Amino acid sequence: MQRYLATRLLALIPVLLGILAVVFLLIRLIPGDAVQLFLGTQVEMTPEQMAELRRFFGVDKPIWAQFVDYLGRILRGDFGVSLRTSRPVLPDIMARLPLSFQLAMFALAIALAIAVPLGILSAVTRNSTFDVLTRIGGLLGLSMPNFWLGAMLILVFSRYLHVSLGQYVPLSQNPLGTLESLYLPAISLGVAIAAILMRYIRSSLLEVLGQDFVRTARGKGLRASVVMLRHALPNAMIPVITVVGFQMGYLLGGTVVIEEIFALPGMGRLVLQAIFQRDYPVVQGVVLTIALLFVVTNLVVDLLYAWIDPRIRYG
């Protein structure tokens, strides 16, 4: 396991460098240089003053040297300063990170809570009316925009069920309040993942149920429930774990859209506001943070997979 962990961590380095390079270069795509962006269009300056400022910001150096500077700053936890509020970017992101992360995890939990039982029942009752209806439901869940589902939930809950949609409550204050403020957004975000997972669980379980060892288990007279719980299910769930890993990107990226429709003060709203205010250090910081979060959660899922299935770590 240690060896597997070491190789996985080493393999991470080029990906991390690549992510940083993309985030760094993203800003260079904008017409005009950093100094002009910083000053906006109102301020008139002499070329000498501009050159002075360029030296101050370090943007007079060649691009690779600027990238090295950037790497150094990120390693020291310096994500730059907001062009609008002049506050350091990182603390603002950190203040909003818990909400987005909790939302993504809550959505995953809801997706699993829907997908596991339905996927199993669907596989066990293959081609029954239940199976067909579940699969149609899954396709519909996969086909609707998550933010539209969110809008529809808001509509139904506030207009017809008269449930008030409360403000976000931090987890440290009141965990139940957090759940209450996030369950609708989490459902909106989780439904598509539930549909994908359900499908994988169904086909994975069907495949396992068709294998020889299951036939043997049945043949030696084990009860159907024992065959299912002890032999079939654990084996069927293993590949599903990797699929969960793939979906972390959807969950983390999706929070941006979902936070917007539910007016939640997470990283998503921060980045959208920054985009419209042309506050590029904030945009860079949030994009980097979410990408890093994606890489880390993916790594955790992969390690979990290797821990559960020895074939992976010795493969």
Q: Which is nearer to another protein, 45 or 136 (CB)?
A: 136
Closest CA to 115 of 200, 39, 180, 220: 200
Task: State how far the Cα of 59 lies from the Cα of 201, in Å rounded to an integer.
Answer: 52
* Interface with another protein, residue 300, by CB under 8 A: no
* Interface with another protein, residue 148, by CB under 8 A: yes
Selected from 252, 270, 301, 306, the binder of another protein by CB under 8 A is 252
* Interface with another protein, residue 217, by CB under 8 A: no
> At its nearest, how many Å lie between another protein and the CB of residue 48?
29
Q: Interface with another protein by CB under 8 A: which range of 41-49, 70-78, 122-130, 255-263? A: 255-263
Q: Which is nearer to another protein, 188 or 235 (CB)?
A: 188
The amino acid sitting at 194 is: A
> At its nearest, how many Å lie between another protein and the CB of residue 101?
13
Q: Interface with another protein by CB under 8 A: which range of 83-91, 110-118, 223-231, 244-252? A: 244-252
**Binding-residue total with another protein (CB under 8 A):** 46
Kindly write down the DSSP assignment for every residue of 185-207, as one continuous string: HHHHHHHHHHHHHHHHHHHHHHH
> What character string, x for contact with another protein (CB under 8 A) and - otherwise, covers 110-139?
-----------------------------x
* Interface with another protein, residue 271, by CB under 8 A: yes
* Interface with another protein, residue 302, by CB under 8 A: no
* Distances 286 to 132, 183, 229, 275, 281 between C-alpha atoms, Å: 42, 24, 43, 11, 9
* Interface with another protein, residue 151, by CB under 8 A: yes
Selected from 95, 253, 309, 312, the binder of another protein by CB under 8 A is 253
Selected from 6, 22, 229, 296, the binder of another protein by CB under 8 A is 22
Selected from 261, 270, 301, 306, the binder of another protein by CB under 8 A is 261
* Interface with another protein, residue 71, by CB under 8 A: no
**Residues engaged in binding another protein (CB under 8 A):** 14-15, 18-19, 21-22, 26-27, 29-30, 139-140, 142-148, 151-152, 154-155, 158-159, 203, 249-250, 252-254, 256-257, 260-261, 271-272, 275-276, 280, 283, 287, 290-291, 294-295
